[in-house]
Amino acid sequence: MSPTGSIGSVELTMPLLAEGMHDGTILAWMKGAGDRVESGEDLVEIETDKASLVWAAPAGGFLDPLAAVGDTVAVGELIALLHASADAVGRRAQAPPAAAPSGVADSAAAPVPPSELAAAVPCAHVPGRPADQGGDAPSGAANGGGRRRIQASPLARRMAQASGIDLGTLSGTARGGRIVRADVQAAVAGGAGASERATPASQPPADHLTGVAAIHRLSRAESLIAARMAEAKSSIPEFVIAVEVEFDAVLALREQLRRPQDGPAPSVNDIVVKACAVALRRHPRVNAAYRDGTFEFYPRVNIGIAVAAGDMLAVPTILDADRRSLAEIAAQTRDLAARVREGTVTPAQLSGGTFTISNLGMFGMTRFTPIIHAGQAGILGVGVATARMVPAPGGSPVARQIAELTLTGDHRILYGAHAAAFLAELRDLLQAPAQLLW
């Protein structure tokens, strides 16, 4: 936030909402152009690579948005102005097209429904970036190879791609000939604002049995998940080790803790989280990571919990899980899971994990192999507990509830003996869980 050249105006730049954040996407403005905004009032919803959240205005004034819904803006770049007078809204000096903030001309357009935003990957655009470094050049300009570069807002680009419109055939109506959403909409409708309708982009080939495939364009979060999973799978030399654990004592403890006056009882997964946290404290090599030729041993035990929310996957973090009681873990897990499903989880609540647990037992899965998260030495997969006959000392076989725990480990820092010792410790804790109560 800084004063602008206009007297009484304040610049609002893309805020740093989480460590490691490079840019953010504007999902919605809570106020319209010219509306009065009070300091501390919800102003704009921003999507980062970890979550979406609403940012409050750091000052009061009349809103002059410079970034449109759908625009992706680098941290520190201008997204809006707050003027002392409503008369100043929209009266900014004409700037060279290449220096215009992304989405300025689109800012007055109607908000895009979240469903439309989720169907496309935002295009990064750095306001003021020279054309020869990847920014939008003025309409009709050419790059070093002689190819004409087209100036268009990120939202217009996505809409054109989805509609099979060639942006090169359109005449932009915004400042500097910039193509905005209205121009693409006009082209689709065949009305004013487009020089001609482009030849539709080729459709996916139709198989005679399956027909034409429906294409889902990944959202920002889905793209990031896909990229990180592919990177982890291709760059981490993983190995897998599993152990069978009798869960009868865990199930009995859960029943003992069902006291209405104390609130909801800890779930089986909460007990696994607590046991895992204690085991991680005793086996610090598992609560670590290989990074750039070094081993990093984390002083805190922060366990990430994989939570499915619709078609998305998020991993909120239980900080200092080894120091929390079962009741505290249960309360925080429920709160974080609810926030993920409601879309209100913050980037901070998705950060800082040193180890991850993924439990698919509630879906009846007996065994699976999860993929390691970068920056961690391992991830634990938890399967469902099923009845099985097992040998009993000095007697006939007895029925026991057996669950399989699978550890995927980074072989650069974990060796078989490390992983086996950790899983054995975890098994012993779960088969005598009363010790987790203190």
Do 150 and 268 belong together in one domain? no
Query: pTM of the entire structure?
Result: 0.61
Q: Please state, in angstroms and as integers, the Cα–Cα distance from residue 434 to each residue in 112, 235, 326, 405, following that order.
A: 53, 40, 11, 20
Report, as an integer, the average pLDDT of 96-105: 38
3-class state of residue 356 by DSSP:
strand
Do 176 and 68 belong together in one domain? yes
- Judge residue 184's burial from the number of C-beta atoms within 10 Å of its C-beta, 0-12 exposed, 13-18 middle, 19 or more buried: buried
Quote the tokens at residue 80: 């809006």
Does the pLDDT of residue 403 top 90, yes or no?
yes
Residue holding tokens 């896909």? Answer: 226
Does the pLDDT of residue 100 top 50, yes or no?
no
Residue 9 lies in a domain: yes
Do 13 and 101 belong together in one domain? yes
Q: What percentage of the chain exceeds 90 in pLDDT?
A: 40
Do 255 and 125 belong together in one domain? no
Task: Give the Cα separation of 403 and 135 in Å (integer).
Answer: 54
Does the pLDDT of residue 105 top 50, yes or no?
no
Ranking 29-43, 146-160, 272-286 by mean pLDDT, the lowest is 146-160
Task: Give the Cα separation of 16 and 13 in Å (integer).
Answer: 9
How many domains in the chain?
2
Residue 219 lies in a domain: no
Do 366 and 248 belong together in one domain? yes
Residue holding tokens 């929310």? Answer: 309
Residue 205 lies in a domain: no
Residue 33 sits in a domain of what CATH number?
2.40.50.100
- 311-335: pLDDT as tens digits: 678 899 999 999 999 999 999 999 9
> What integer pLDDT is reported at residue 305 of this predicted model?
95
Residue 198 lies in a domain: no
Residue 209 lies in a domain: no
> What integer pLDDT is reported at residue 426 of this predicted model?
97
DSSP 111-177: PPPHHHHTTSPPPB--TT--GGGTSPPPTT-B-TTSPBP--B-HHHHHHHHHHT--GGG----SGGG
φ/ψ (deg, to 5) at 164? 75, 30
Residue 340 sits in a domain of what CATH number?
3.30.559.10
Ranking 34-48, 66-80, 183-197, 205-219 by mean pLDDT, the lowest is 183-197
N-terminal to C-terminal alpha carbon distance within the chain: 48
Residues with Cβ within 8 Å of 342's Cβ and at least 6 positions away in sequence, in order, are: none
Do 30 and 137 belong together in one domain? yes
Report, as an integer, the average pLDDT of 426-430: 96
Residue 230 lies in a domain: no
Do 301 and 394 belong together in one domain? yes
Do 178 and 290 belong together in one domain? no
Which of 156, 189, 222 terminates a domain? The answer is 189
φ/ψ (deg, to 5) at 57? -65, 130
Please tell me which of 174-183, 185-194, 254-263 the model is most confident about, judged by mean pLDDT: 254-263
Quick one: which H or E segment has residue 186?
helix 181-189
Boundaries of domain holding 263: 236-437
CA dihedral 408, 411, 413, 417 (to 10 degrees): 80
Residue 83 lies in a domain: yes
Do 389 and 254 belong together in one domain? yes
Do 28 and 157 belong together in one domain? yes
Confidence of residue 374 (pLDDT cuts 50, 70, 90): confident
Other Cβ atoms within 10 Å of 141 Cβ, number: 16
Which of 168, 189, 210 terminates a domain? The answer is 189
Let me know: does 168 contact 148? Beta carbons within 8 Å: yes
Do 162 and 262 belong together in one domain? no
- 206-240: pLDDT as tens digits: 666 777 788 877 776 777 778 788 888 888 999 99
> What integer pLDDT is reported at residue 172 of this predicted model?
75
Quote the tokens at residue 260: 């209405």
Do 242 and 97 belong together in one domain? no
Residue 155 lies in a domain: yes
